Structure 1
Amino acid sequence: MKITIKLSELLYFSAFFIWLVFNFVAQTNLVYKFPSIYRYRIIAMIVCIVILIAKLLLEKHTRRFLLIFLLAICLAITIAISTNKLFDGLTIISTIMLIVSVKNINFRKVLVFWSVSIFLFMLFVFILLKLGIIENTLRIQLGGRYRFSQGYQFVSLGANYLFHITLVYLYLRKNRVRFLEIMLLGIVNYYFYINTDTKSAFFLSILALIVVYLFRNKELNQRTLQVTGIIVWTAGVIVPIVLTYFYNPSIKFFQILNTTLTGRLSLGHKTMSLYGVDLFGQRIDWELQQRSTSVFDNYLYVDSSFVNILLHYGVILLFVIWLSYYLLIKRGYFSTVEMLVFIVLILHSMFDPQFFELMYNPLLLLIGLVWGADELNYGET
């Protein structure tokens, strides 16, 4: 069988692979052996941007797309300047470039490419871990929680990669998914759960596996999908922001909720109080250092994806993201299984930070289907 690939696809997948591999490796314990990985990650994002520019220059475009591209790049550069950090600036520019450049690429191929790449990366880390080349860091948190990193810098990273692989796999398989596949995915997720104690990733993975299997042969009408999707999507963005803004430690409700969410509300409220909200984002110096017992020293990080985007990258970008998915839902883009997967993704992103990180969430590239809708190859999704 002859396999053909277009030049635009070759350039896009080359850029995406370079971006993925270096950003992924920088989140593993390999950085303790090779600190220069951080520097290579910066170079990799620059190379990625250059390749994507070459791709866009080689293609023909409508005036509409050129206008959208110009606006997107201006937004990315403005946010990059506002964040005032090289890594953050390159991250936002390269992420938006990857979103815009998905033009002319079959979206299903992108999801398969991401899934295979991340699976191979995770397998590579697992092999290094078993060979003793990288450390399986132990964290003992308050309450006596034993958590092993499985070769990643933070204990939750591997579980969150697996959670997103599970969602994308279900998104691709749709009604073809079988019980054996559901069981295997559940077992692998359980392995990470018992070793990393990452609850949200595990329980939401199981929820996704169950609801997709139950609805795999059912197709809800588009009106139901649209109304449900818009309500869940809008609430998913707004609710964590509202809870964070109005958080009050003297109110019992917030005390209980904050404890349940392992301090996420208090940390988000603290960050919001310190930095406020800006139209185009701002520089935030996250403090992620922790003692060996995981008792944090001045720890500062916002885990809610949407609160994080609002504070770090600004009101405009968050609105653009919300509007893009709103239009996708309104236009009836999602099938029943796709919508169920997307809803689980929203639930996870409400209080976990991976929504705007392409390493974890390739469904972020769906935004590109809205920005270039008149030209893009939707393909089979």
Structure 2
Amino acid sequence: MMIKSSTGRITAAGLYLAAFGLFFGYAFFATSMYNDALPLRFELVVMAVVLPLLLTKIVAFDHYSMGQWIVIFTGLVLVAWTARTSGRYILIAVYLLIIGARRMSFEAIAKTALLIGLATFALIIISSWLDLIPNLRYLREGTYRNSFGIQYPTDFAAHVLYLLLTYAAVKHGHFKWYDWLLSLFAAWFVWTYCDARLDTVLIVILLVLLSVYWLIEKGFKPALLVSWISVGAMAIGAALSIGLSYFYSPKIKWLEDLNHLLSTRLQLGRKALDRYDPQWFGQVVRTNGWGGSQGFKHFTGKLITKEYFFIDSSYLTVLLTFGLIVSVSLLVGYTWFAWREVRRQEYLLPLLIAVTAISCIVDQHLLDVSYNIFVLALLADTTSFRLPISG
């Protein structure tokens, strides 16, 4: 994460990793109960440091044609307008992180995220054990769900999942026996102490797809079919999430059964579509969840109870909050990236992104870099993940 090289010169990699490390560290930290102690809109202070670093890297080190500069600037204007209409200015930082990742080693990005993520996660968990911040405990159907210093139990479980995904990228998909045991322990832990059933299933799916990747490396041709299916994972996930929510009705038994299995996510998605129409440049979407200190007080009845309304689906969240342009651009970008990777015999990242695509049906972390760093792979250098021609 050093900005200067050993010769003292400022480097593109140093600028980008410094900016990413600062932003990622803050964003991860802000998902914890420490966020209550941060000043209001502290994210703007962080962006005031991060954005100049990213802009310097992009302008001074990345070489584009005039046409490419026009596309990048047009994208920035559209993103800035969307950030304004949605009230989510953090979108500007995410856009510049994606653009700035050009020619950056995604392996280096993943290593930076893993190092900072594990250190921050450990700090948060230890702080909750020492009662420096609260471990929010939610009672559901006789089972306590622990947040361990994160603002909600499922957010804790999602951190575990996405750190495992990042670890798999750093390890190039080559899990040793102790990595398998660690992953299975993580699945058991979030099931037992967070009652996060869906994230447990997603960890198991990750292990299955890593097994598929092992078969691909060994030359088992049928396994390649799974990698090609992963190309459309994000589009399929979006279609399922939005489509099922749109057509949901409690009168349709199989949809109501699925809604119950998904903890009423279809019902809440239908309610979101009833309240908000998709806009080109997004809109302010107001939700009331049970996460954080205020949400926990509402959950326990210590404050006047507000109506619970939270959109867990990333696809619906992005569509309604950030609008059609951002949503379509993301789907096209992810699909193009996965198709390019598979054609280059870089199979691992499409398989890992397929896990995030499934996760985004039941969580809201598609554009949340503190969880999902894989959005930064779209323009990054991924050649280190390529298999030999003989593979």
**So what's the TM-score if we normalise by structure 1?**
0.88
For residues 115-138 of structure 1, the C-alpha deviation after alignment (integer angstroms, 9 at most, x for no partner) is: 111111001112212222121111
Hey, what's the Cα distance between the residues in 2 that align with 1:102 and 1:243?
34
Judge conservation of contact 2:43–2:90 (CA < 8 Å) in 1. Answer: no
Hey, what's the Cα distance between the residues in 2 that align with 1:343 and 1:174?
16
Range 227-236 or range 14-23, more displaced: 227-236
Q: 1:81 aligns with which of 78, 84, 91?
A: 84
Range 302-311 or range 182-191, more displaced: 182-191
Judge conservation of contact 1:22–1:40 (CA < 8 Å) in 2. Answer: no
Cα 1:104–1:231 change in 2 (3 A) is: closer
Task: Give the corresponding residue for 2:292.
Answer: none
Hey, what's the Cα distance between the residues in 1 that align with 2:360 and 2:299?
27
Task: Give the corresponding residue for 1:164.
Answer: 162
Judge conservation of contact 1:174–1:338 (CA < 8 Å) in 2. Answer: no
Give the CA deviation at 1:60.
4.3
State how 1:47-62 maps to structure 2 within 5 Å.
47-62=49-64
Judge conservation of contact 1:306–1:349 (CA < 8 Å) in 2. Answer: yes
State how 1:115-126 maps to structure 2 within 5 Å.
115-126=114-125
Range 335-344 or range 127-136, more displaced: 335-344
Q: 2:307 aligns with which of 254, 278, 298?
A: 298
For residues 224-268 of structure 1, the C-alpha deviation after alignment (integer angstroms, 9 at most, x for no partner) is: 356412343321121111111111122212211111111111111
> What amino acid sits opposite 2:283 in the alignment?
Q
State how 1:148-163 maps to structure 2 within 5 Å.
148-163=146-161
Q: 2:189 aligns with which of 187, 191, 195?
A: 191
Range 214-223 or range 106-115, more displaced: 214-223
For residues 55-104 of structure 1, the C-alpha deviation after alignment (integer angstroms, 9 at most, x for no partner) is: 22222422143133212202211211221x2xx1x211111011011123
Are positions 1:240 and 2:252 aligned together?
no
Task: Give the corresponding residue for 2:18.
Answer: 14
Task: Give the corresponding residue for 1:361.
Answer: 372
Judge conservation of contact 2:279–2:320 (CA < 8 Å) in 1. Answer: yes
Judge conservation of contact 1:108–1:379 (CA < 8 Å) in 2. Answer: no
Give the CA deviation at 1:330.
2.5
Cα 1:206–1:27 change in 2 (3 A) is: same
Hey, what's the Cα distance between the residues in 2 that align with 1:261 and 1:378?
34
> What amino acid sits opposite 2:278 in the alignment?
V
Hey, what's the Cα distance between the residues in 1 that align with 2:345 and 2:308?
39
Are positions 1:44 and 2:46 aligned together?
yes
Hey, what's the Cα distance between the residues in 1 that align with 2:163 and 2:91?
23
Range 214-223 or range 257-266, more displaced: 214-223
Task: Give the corresponding residue for 1:286.
Answer: 287
Hey, what's the Cα distance between the residues in 2 that align with 1:307 and 1:27?
21
State how 1:1-381 maps to structure 2 within 5 Å.
4=6, 7-32=11-36, 34-36=37-39, 38-63=40-65, 64-83=67-86, 85=87, 88=88, 90-141=89-140, 143-213=141-211, 215-219=213-217, 224=225, 227-288=228-289, 289-290=295-296, 291-293=298-300, 297-331=306-340, 332-333=343-344, 335-369=346-380, 377-381=381-385
Hey, what's the Cα distance between the residues in 1 that align with 2:108 and 2:272?
39
SS of alignment partner, residue 139 of structure 2: strand
**So what's the TM-score if we normalise by structure 2?**
0.86
Report the count of equivalent residues. Answer: 365
Range 247-256 or range 230-239, more displaced: 230-239
SS of alignment partner, residue 139 of structure 1: strand
Hey, what's the Cα distance between the residues in 2 that align with 1:10 and 1:336?
28
Judge conservation of contact 2:282–2:321 (CA < 8 Å) in 1. Answer: yes
Cα 1:209–1:67 change in 2 (3 A) is: same
Cα 1:175–1:121 change in 2 (3 A) is: closer
Give the CA deviation at 1:365.
0.8
Judge conservation of contact 1:305–1:351 (CA < 8 Å) in 2. Answer: yes
Hey, what's the Cα distance between the residues in 1 that align with 2:331 and 2:344?
15
SS of alignment partner, residue 218 of structure 1: helix
Judge conservation of contact 2:110–2:169 (CA < 8 Å) in 1. Answer: no
SS of alignment partner, residue 156 of structure 1: helix
> What amino acid sits opposite 1:115 in the alignment?
L
SS of alignment partner, residue 174 of structure 1: coil
Cα 1:213–1:378 change in 2 (3 A) is: closer
Q: Percent identity?
A: 20
Structure 2's unaligned 5+ residue stretches are: 290-294, 386-391
Task: Give the corresponding residue for 1:374.
Answer: none
Hey, what's the Cα distance between the residues in 2 that align with 1:168 and 1:27?
18
Give the CA deviation at 1:223.
7.0
Judge conservation of contact 2:146–2:193 (CA < 8 Å) in 1. Answer: yes
Cα 1:242–1:15 change in 2 (3 A) is: same
Judge conservation of contact 1:182–1:213 (CA < 8 Å) in 2. Answer: no
Give the CA deviation at 1:187.
1.1
SS of alignment partner, residue 147 of structure 1: strand
Instruction: Provide the alpha-carbon RMSD of the alignment.
Output: 2.3
Cα 1:303–1:339 change in 2 (3 A) is: same
Judge conservation of contact 1:177–1:213 (CA < 8 Å) in 2. Answer: no
